[in-house]
Chain A
Amino acid sequence: MFGSAKRLAVLLAAGALLAAGCAEEQPAPGAQGGEAETGPFKIGAVLDITGAGASLGVPERDTLTLLTEQLNAQGGIDGRQVEMIIEDNASTEDGAARAATKLITEDQVDILLGASRTGPSLAMRPIAESTPIPMISLAANAAIVNGSQWVFKTAQNDSVVIENIVRDAASKGYRTLALARDASGFGEGVRELFDEIGGPQGVSVVAVESFAPDATDFTAQMVNVRNANADAVVIWGIPPAAGLAQKAYVQLGVGKPVYQSHGIGNQVFLDTAAEAADGLVAPLGRLVVADQLPEDDPQKKVITDFVAAYRAEYDAAPSTFAGHAYDGFQLAVDALRNAGTEPDAIRQHLEGVDDFVGVSGTFTMSPDDHSGLTADDLVLVTVANKQFQLVQ
């Protein structure tokens, strides 16, 4: 008995020594040795490639792959290649945390991209903050960057989307809204934002229903929304759920004007909702209406170039999510080019981003604003004949 305890102690001590030895050999994440100065830049991306966020993560993966190939073919960043390491978080929070940890400790990436959705992004945030390593999320909820030091994001904040919806609702005289929202991170806090932004303009939320991001039956939610008898309805979700909800909304004859969020900017939504989508209004990035933008739009060139490159490679139009990935990639590359791989230098560079023309909008960041987009970076879009149309 005594003997085995002693043996255990020796083993433990040996293990601890071994671990200490290993730790010494491995440079701390972010710290750069001589070799890294000449090797490739490493960008790690955590995306929702499978699971509920697949319709976001797949085009994002495709975009990052395409842009990395393009950049490397042109000689990389000042002659150094860029290595893009993409991990699937299976649309789960724990998957995102695991993947982020793996990219930081094993692959020792210089900057993190992702995740595609709010929940997984929030799971990555504390890891990025404590490492620390700069991270650019592609998701929407402002909570991802509120008060953060190391986390940035490219998708338009939910608050600027809600500003657009409230402004339009108020101008049309809608005073009450019924909200059917995603029950995961993307829909978290949306009601509160509507109250905060809508209150001064006399627009209030009178009913809230929620649905799981992988839900398939929306009868319960839409019946309750119908009973709320509000002036207009807001559906806040991502495809395919947002499309199925839109279908149920029409099928159950809710019969009120409907707003959707900026989460619907892809073909999957148009395919899922089909004719049911006609007439909805949603604030979306300019990407989905690229062909309808006026020539003098400052984003026109960036967007049309991206659409052309994406079409040439994948034979499909890029979604707004592809656009968020594009912006994340360009911001990361711009920071690596100008600031090198020192984490704090990258962070300071990102905080100084000014008038950076991207696909999701024109970014102007600051130490207090790690999102950098305003309500003007969205346009009101409707759907007709399975096509997004700019509302004039």
Chain B
Amino acid sequence: MSDLLQFVVAGLSSGAIYALVAMGFVAVFSVSGVINLAQGEFAAIAGLSALSFTDAGLPLPVAMLLALLVVAVVAVLMQRLAIAPVRRMTTLVSIILTLGVSTALKALLLLIYGPQGRGLAPLPGADLVIGGVSVRAQELWILGITAVVAVAVAVFYDRTVLGKALRACAEQPIAARLVGISPKAAATVAFAVAGLLGAVAGVLASPIQLTQWDSGLLLGLKGFVAATLGGLVSIRGAVLGGLVLGVLESLTAGYIDSGYRDAVAFVLLIVVLVARPGGVFGRHAEARV
């Protein structure tokens, strides 16, 4: 029993990271129909820049906040320079385009930071053992911060004017323009939100998983799968998708074979796309083209 709980705890903490990345996918896709394959790179940039800030002697919380800021700026720049100028953006074009941006960002990170991975210092706190289940302080931080961020994002979209405007762009783009919401401004805000979400994932995961130039690749793929589980347009779906994926991976590694761990996400992706293209947690199974 304690084994099962141990696997679930490990799965939830890696799942929370996937959930953060997945929310970033949803933030961008739901507003502009863009699938941003550089979402994982936001996490890598955050981890690496936080590392260089702590190297420069800044305290950990300051370094983490600065890293969030850096990534938000990178995300907005990416939207302005690479996404906004494209006249007729389709989802397919966006995939090719952002794949290019992702490759370029990875190359840049490799040039700046070199090939070796490093980990940020963990957030303060003592590791616990509860009923034979060991929980690291960093895992509690990850779960707590992810919960707070998820609620904040939900409140942002449901309650604030800006959030409602973004949702309006997603649901009724023409009507949204008619009432004076600029789709360009909306897309920029969406990218900033996505950048922040990816960056939070990056700085939280770094102490446990280490960060290197290509960390974003797998994180981005897993986050994309998690977002797809939720139908790519639902924040709640993305969070649930991330957690479910993390736990499934952990159970597969524990009870079947750790070699199949990374295969779980992709098997799941195929099953979902074939059986329920609208997402497992979506209310209606309808493909958004």
Contact = CB atoms under 8 A, between A and B. Distances in A.
B217 to A, nearest CB: 10
Contact of A50 (B3, B110, B136): B110
Given A211-B258, A223-B254, A216 B212 contact: no
B258 A210 contact: yes
Interface in A41-81: 49-51, 54-55, 57-58
Nearest to A59: B116
Contacts of B213: 50
Contacts of A215: 258, 261
A85 interface: no
B210 A219 contact: no
B250 A253 contact: no
Contact of B254 (A51, A58, A211, A224): A224
A117 B78 CA distance: 37
Contact of A217 (B116, B118, B250): B250
A212 B7 contact: no
B104 to A, nearest CB: 16
B7 A244 contact: no
Nearest to B212: A54
Contact of B116 (A58, A210, A216, A223): A58
Contacts of A223: 3, 6-7, 254
B119 interface: yes
Contacts of A272: 119, 210
Interface string B191-227: 0000000000000000011101110000000000000
B254 A217 contact: no
Nearest to A224: B254
B281 to A, nearest CB: 25
Taking residues whose C-beta sits less than 8 angstroms from the other chain, chain A's interface range is: 20 to 34
Which of A183, A209, A220, A271 has the most chain B CB atoms inside 10 A of its CB? A220
A99 B162 CA distance: 53
Interface string B109-133: 0100011111100000001010000
B207 to A, nearest CB: 10
A95 interface: no
Contacts of A216: 208-210
Interface string A201-240: 0000000011110011101110110010000000000001
A251 interface: yes
Contact of A251 (B118, B136, B250, B259): B136
B10 interface: yes
Given A216-B210, A272-B119, A209 B114 contact: no
Contacts of B117: 54-55, 240
Contacts of B116: 54-55, 58, 268
B127 A251 contact: yes
A113 to B, nearest CB: 18
Contacts of A252: 6, 134
A221 B259 CA distance: 11
A58 B3 contact: no
A215 B3 CA distance: 20
B134 A251 contact: yes
Given A240-B210, A272-B210, A220 B258 contact: yes
Contacts of A183: 258-259
B259 A253 contact: no
Interface in A238-283: 240, 244, 251-253, 268, 271-272
B215 to A, nearest CB: 9
A240 B117 CA distance: 8
Contacts of B77: none
A219 B210 CA distance: 16
Contacts of B212: 54
A219 B208 contact: no
B134 A51 contact: no
Which of B118, B214, B258, B259 has the most chain A CB atoms inside 10 A of its CB? B258
B253 interface: yes
Nearest to B256: A220
A336 to B, nearest CB: 29
Which of B9, B10, B129, B136 has the most chain A CB atoms inside 10 A of its CB? B10
B253 A58 contact: no
A123 B44 CA distance: 30
Contacts of A50: 110, 115, 213-214
A235 to B, nearest CB: 14
A253 B129 contact: yes
B14 interface: yes
Given A217-B209, A272-B210, A49 B115 contact: yes
A211 B257 CA distance: 9
A34 to B, nearest CB: 40
Contacts of B254: 219-220, 223-224
A46 B285 CA distance: 50
A43 B198 CA distance: 43
A164 B39 CA distance: 47
Nearest to B252: A220
Nearest to B118: A271
Contacts of B259: 183, 210, 212
B268 to A, nearest CB: 17
A227 B1 CA distance: 12
A49 B9 CA distance: 34
B115 A54 contact: yes
Interface in B156-198: none
A221 B258 CA distance: 7
Nearest to B6: A223
Contacts of B127: 251
B10 A219 contact: yes
Contacts of B3: 223, 227
Nearest to A244: B210
Closest 6 CB pairs of A and B: A220-B253, A219-B10, A216-B209, A220-B254, A54-B115, A50-B115
29 contacts: A49-B115, A50-B213, A50-B214, A57-B115, A58-B115, A58-B116, A183-B259, A209-B258, A210-B258, A210-B259, A211-B258, A212-B261, A216-B209, A217-B209, A217-B250, A219-B250, A219-B254, A220-B7, A221-B253, A223-B3, A227-B3, A240-B117, A244-B210, A251-B127, A251-B136, A252-B134, A253-B134, A271-B118, A272-B210
